[in-house]
Structure 1
Amino acid sequence: MAKRRRSQLRYEFLGQLPFSPRFRVTYVGVGILFLLVVISAFVVVSSAHHTRVQYVRLQKMERQHDQLQTTWSRLLLEESTWSSPSRIEALARKRLDMHVPDVNESRVIRP
């Protein structure tokens, strides 16, 4: 019986060696997991890089937006300055030699 038990232990030990089918399956599984981890790492790095690039692009667009807002505000102020009634009246007097009519110079036409 002791002899039989020794031979069983020997076969159990041999089942754990690198050339056994169980050991090969473990190596294949570990290899596949390692490959998946490496692919996952590349995807994470690529995603982080893409995020940084898009964030830089967003910052540039926000700066451009701020500049355009400043320009728009300046143009609105300039438009209100150029179109003020007092300025138009002064230009009409100076360049076109126009004046506000007196009461005697105005006529009311009724239908």
Structure 2
Amino acid sequence: MQFELPIHNQLVVALYRDLKRYRGLLFFTVVAIASALTIIYQTHSYRELMGERESLLQERDQLDVEWRHLLVEQNALSEHSRIETIARNELGMNRPDEEQEVLVPWQ
């Protein structure tokens, strides 16, 4: 007398037999899916980094413009001190003391 397994158990046994027979194919399928998910993750990371790079480049450009403005301002301020030095040393000009200052009334 042959013992019959219930249909559910027969399906489990058949599934196990198929998995054992096609384990190489199953392995490569899992590897292919893992590879695809890795590529998706890397692509997403790359796009995020490119966005961050663009914002950093814009910030660098803004800082470069600000730096140029500060250089122009520094040059303008240094020219005033140069004029004052020339007026003192070459022309003998001095700032008037408080006693020498004359206030003109405003009308």
Q: What is the CA–CA distance in structure 1 between the aligned matches of 2:92 and 2:43, rounded to whole Å?
A: 68
Q: Which amino acid aligns with 1:96?
A: Q
Partner of 1:27: 29
SS at match of 2:93: helix
- Report Cα offsets for 1:17-49 as digits up to 9, x if no partner: x85222211210110000110111011111211
Partner of 1:103: none
Partner of 1:88: 93
- Output the TM-score relative to the length of structure 1: 0.59
Q: Which amino acid aligns with 1:75?
A: L
- Report Cα offsets for 1:37-81 as digits up to 9, x if no partner: 011101111121111111111111110100000000000111222
Unaligned runs of 5+ in 1: 1-17, 98-111
Alignment partner for residue 49 of structure 2, among 43, 47, 50? 47
The higher radius of gyration belongs to: 1
Q: Percent identity?
A: 5
Offset of residue 87 of structure 1: 6.8
- Structure 1 residues 42, 64: CA separation in 2 closer, same or farther (over 3 Å shift)? same
Aligned residue pair count: 77
Q: What is the CA–CA distance in structure 2 between the aligned matches of 1:87 and 1:62, rounded to whole Å?
A: 41
Unaligned runs of 5+ in 2: 1-17, 102-107
- Output the TM-score relative to the length of structure 2: 0.61
Q: What is the CA–CA distance in structure 2 between the aligned matches of 1:54 and 1:44, rounded to whole Å?
A: 15
Computed over aligned residues only, the root mean square deviation of the Cα atoms, in angstroms, reads: 2.4
